[in-house]
Amino acid sequence: MNNTVELKQQLDQQLQQLLVQKTMLRVVPGERPPISSQLMSHIGGDPYFEVGEEWPVNPDTRQPLELIFQLVSESNSIWPFPAQVVQFYHNYYEGNLPFDESEPKEYSIKIYPAVQPEKQVLLPRPAALPSIGFSYIELHSEPALPDDDELEYISSKTLAICRQLAPEKWQSVYNEAVEALIGEQNLGSWVGGYAHLLQDAYPTGEFLMQFDSTEDFMWGDSGLLYFFYDPEEATSISFQLQCM
């Protein structure tokens, strides 16, 4: 068998082994629903709260934190821990972008293993926060493969095959094979799968999700937020901001 043909077959086999599913997050601006949006994935709506809770604030300034996103999934299988609702709050409107050195008082990551209707309570948006538009976040599953920048950390064997096929243009060989299998992969927001990092840095921990800039929240110059978790304690979550 021709060596090139054999290598391409090996590359396809490697891609099949690396293929996983990710949950895409599509932000869609819309009209604020006439009823509470507590059980919807959204930006700018009503967060899910339970009796006894208060809106998260910075304990030093008492400034309420902004709800950056709420994600609600009927199936908690998209997370590495039991979760039906996941929320991320940050003091974004104090001018502090959520870099990885953000102090714990500047943000809050809330995880609800399950919705409990008997404990659910509606808390009004604090008047100290500016008004923002409402956006739905639509969730759907798509196939995922590593970005070429991360391939050396994820599958050195796949990288080696690509280098054998085209030592100087191995990225083109890899991306053409990826596109043939699952289509073009673009930057965006998703849970699970593989991180597509803007910068050549990989934080400690397993990749959890990435969240793109939106009309309401700009993470620097075309930036993204990346979230990672501790494999030994999945609800221990860190994050960092990367931008161009």
pLDDT at 232 over 70: yes
For 164-222, the pLDDT digits (tens) are 999 999 999 999 999 999 999 999 999 999 999 988 666 678 999 999 999 888 887 77
Q: What is the CA radius of gyration of the chain?
A: 20
DSSP track, the chain: --HHHHHHHHHHHHHHHH-EEEEEEEEEE-PPPSS--TTS-EESSPPPEETT----B-TTT-PBPEEEEEEE-SSGGGSSS--SEEEEEE-GGGT----TT--GGGEEEEEESS--TTTEE--PPPTTSPP---EEEEEEEEEE---GGGHHHH-HHHHHHHHHH-SSSHHHHHHHHHHHHH-------EEES----SSS---SSEEEEEEE--SS---SSS-EEEEEEETTEEEEEEEEEE--
Q: What is the pLDDT of residue 202?
A: 63
pLDDT at 95: 63
Q: Which two tokens stand for residue 176?
A: 């053409």
- pTM metric for this prediction: 0.92
Q: pLDDT, tens digit, for every residue of 53-73?
A: 999 999 988 999 999 999 999
Per-residue pLDDT at 229 exceeds 80: yes
* Domains (range + CATH), the chain: 3-242 (2.30.320.10)
- Express each pLDDT in 91-133 by its tens digit: 887 666 666 556 778 899 999 999 999 999 999 999 999 999 9
